[in-house]
Structure 1
Amino acid sequence: MFNLINIKRVLIDLPKLLFVNNLCELYLIIGPCSISNLKDFYIYVNKIKNILKKKYNTIIRIYYEKPRSNIGWKGFIYDPYLDNSYSMIDSIYIIRKLMLTIIKKNILIGVECLNFYLTNYFIDLIFWICLGARTMLSQIHREYCSHLKCIVAIKNDLSGNLSYLKDTFIAISNKHYYIDFFNNMKFTRSLGNLNCQFVLRGGILPNFTNLNKLNFNSLIIDCSHMNSNKYAINQLYVFENTLNQFLYLKTNIIGFMLESNLNFGNQKMDNKFLGISITDSCINFKLTKMLILLLNNINFC
């Protein structure tokens, strides 16, 4: 299986494209909760591309796998055709092709690191990688991220305990010895990765208020999840609130993350309405455009 995947990978591999961050170092991480319909996703990306400005770094979420508390659809990479065929050779090929297309549009790529064996098939194309609330405490995920050269974003855990963010950062920023699955199971030494960001996604309660009192650098505000109480429309309030904190208070906010799609809300997998998430609820493009234009009109550099 792995030999077949590697052959397909080589066929579409291209030289790396280098990106230089803007001086403002503000990040907008945006996109669907998860990718499922590629036709819809291309339409979405083209619409977003047309309203972006270069004053901030835009990262498109290509979330090809999803964490599950028990069972359910685990994402495009496992079941790209939504029919339980589990055509993972196809999906890895399709995802790399998708990423290369996005890069050619000069848009950066962000993913979530769940199964890092799968992440390795795309790591040369990824600019920003996120450790989610369920994996940020995992020792093997910390070891893996300690050897990466891309930005590693660390989400707070499900409880909202921010002390774990510092623990995870310390672990990722230090050297580790571990077994490298993609290097013939050799013992490998990582050098540590200091290029980390902290993502506040809420816990038992939202955690996007009074950010000037937090002793954290490089804060990314996740406007969705528990900060929005899982109501997509609340992302507008979280974005406006934290943008004002960014502008008028001494905070260490460096970015915002939105879950956004062509159309509002979410649906069951078998409904198949176009442009609507089949995982978490998202705001639609109209609302997304309103927020991006608000960001475009601010002189924050």
Structure 2
Amino acid sequence: MTAPLLAAPETLGLLPTSGELLSDLPVRPGHGIHAHREAVRRVLDGEDDRVLAVVGPCSIHDPEAGLEYARGLAAASARWTGDLLVVLRAYLEKPRSVVGWKGLVHDPALDGSGDVAEGLRLGREFLLDAADTGLPLAGEFVEPLVAPYLADLVSYGAIGARTVASQPHRQLASWLPMPVGLKNAVDGDVGVAVDAIRSAIARHVFPGVGHDGAPAVQQGAGNAQAHLILRGGTAGTNYDAESVGQALARLRAVGLPERVVVDASHGNSGKDHRRQPGVVADLAAQIAQGQRGLVGVMVESFLYEGRQDTAQRYGVSITDACLALPETVDVLDTLAAAVRARRG
């Protein structure tokens, strides 16, 4: 007897519907999500001459440490109110090139047990508590089915280098109710991200799951604030003035708004967190010299610098290495000074 080619898929457990989770853990009065999204839009569209600063851990693995960081960043952000729009990097999913820990939503116990239902609840609780700091929140959307559980709390979204060519993620960007940045590919290819932006600003109809858990036909009306994030790649960095200028020219050539956000980490720092201040210094010089197409900067930062393989040291990343919060304050001081110089 011939064995079946594929074993029947195993169901490990059931998830609440997104409607159920949103009902149990609703947005709190005073969070101001719509106002935060509008503030980000104004910066991206050039109506506000501040620079977007998306700052925080590579991926949240310890909500307690994440909240301590969020409160510290929120307290410091008052000094940059007129120059920077500081957004907390509150990423709950971690894309992997092959395998590894996939983030708090997918594995909250950090042990491979994959309790996604608990991860969704913990993740939403973290976002609610983080929003209490008054900072806008940023999130990367990796698994499209997760987005309805969390998107109502996010003011700035990102589609990563590993998924930017994916049609479901481009459709998702079209549907998401906040500005979304799309990163260049892992190899550094900017063209695929430009194509993704062109797709994300268009209308899409696609299959999905409604808040009641039923399969549904969904519509993405098109995301007018879809934009390019330069993050470097295996081919090299792309944060220098020439690379930024070339990226803006590519956007102009296809009729897209000339605006880029630059990620100081990942390929642009060679995954060495100690290089991030140098990257930001270069970007600050471009801003001070009048570059207005450079609308934002991303920095990976946590309570303490570096990284670790397992969660033994409090406030240290278990994914990409991060700057410590005090160093991050110095970096943002440099960026804010550049914005003031550009005005002058």
Q: Which of 91, 95, 101 lines up with 1:63 in the alignment?
A: 91
Counterparts of 1:7 and 1:188, CA distance in 2: 19
CA deviation after TM superposition for structure 1 residue 250, in Å: 3.4
Matched, 1:50 2:75: yes
Contact 2:144 2:168 in 1 (8 A): no
What TM-score, normalized by structure 2, do the two folds share? Answer: 0.82
Change (3 A) 1:188 1:118: closer
Secondary structure of 1:121's counterpart equals: helix
Which blocks of at least 5 consecutive residues in structure 2 are unaligned?
1-13, 43-47, 252-257
- Percent identity of paired positions between Structure 1 and Structure 2: 25
Of 145, 152, 159, the match for 2:180: 152
For residues 151-203 of structure 1, what are the alpha-carbon distances to aligned partners after superposition, in whole Å with 9 as ceiling and x for unaligned? Answer: 11000001111111221111111112211222632333332111112110002
Alignment of 1:175-214 (within 5 A): 175-182=203-210, 184-203=214-233, 204-209=235-240, 210=242, 211-214=244-247
Q: Which one is further off, 249-258 or 228-237?
A: 249-258
Give the corresponding residue for 1:97.
Answer: 125
What 5-or-longer segments of structure 1 have no aligned partner?
none
C-alpha distance in structure 2 between counterparts of 1:28 and 1:181, whole Å? 33
Q: Distance in 2 between matches of 1:182 and 1:88?
A: 18
Name the Cα RMSD after superposition: 1.9
Separation in 2, partners of 1:145, 1:235? 28
Q: Which amino acid aligns with 1:195?
A: Q
Residue 64 of structure 2 is aligned with which of 30, 39, 47?
A: 39
Whether the aligned pair in 2 keeps the contact of 1:233 and 1:283 (CA below 8 Å) is yes
The structure with the largest alpha-carbon Rg is: 2
Aligned length: 300
1:13 Cα deviation after fit: 0.7
CA–CA distance in structure 2, aligned partners of residues 162 and 297 of structure 1: 29
Q: Does 1:172 align with 2:200?
A: yes
Assess if the C-alpha contact under 8 Å between 1:4 and 1:89 holds in 2: no
What is the rounded CA distance, in whole Å, between the counterparts of 1:251 and 1:161 in structure 2? 23
- Matched-pair contact (CA < 8 Å) for 1:266–1:281: yes
* Residue 3 of structure 1, CA deviation: 3.5
- Relative to its length, the structure with more helix (as a share) is 2
What is the one-letter code of the residue matched to 1:2? L
Say which SS state the counterpart of residue 278 (structure 1) adopts. Answer: coil
Which of the numbers 9, 15, 37 marks the counterpart of 1:2?
A: 15
1:189 match: secondary structure: strand
Contact 2:67-2:129 at 8 Å conserved across structures: no
Tell me the TM-score normalized by structure 1.
Answer: 0.93
| 1:233 aligned counterpart, secondary structure | helix
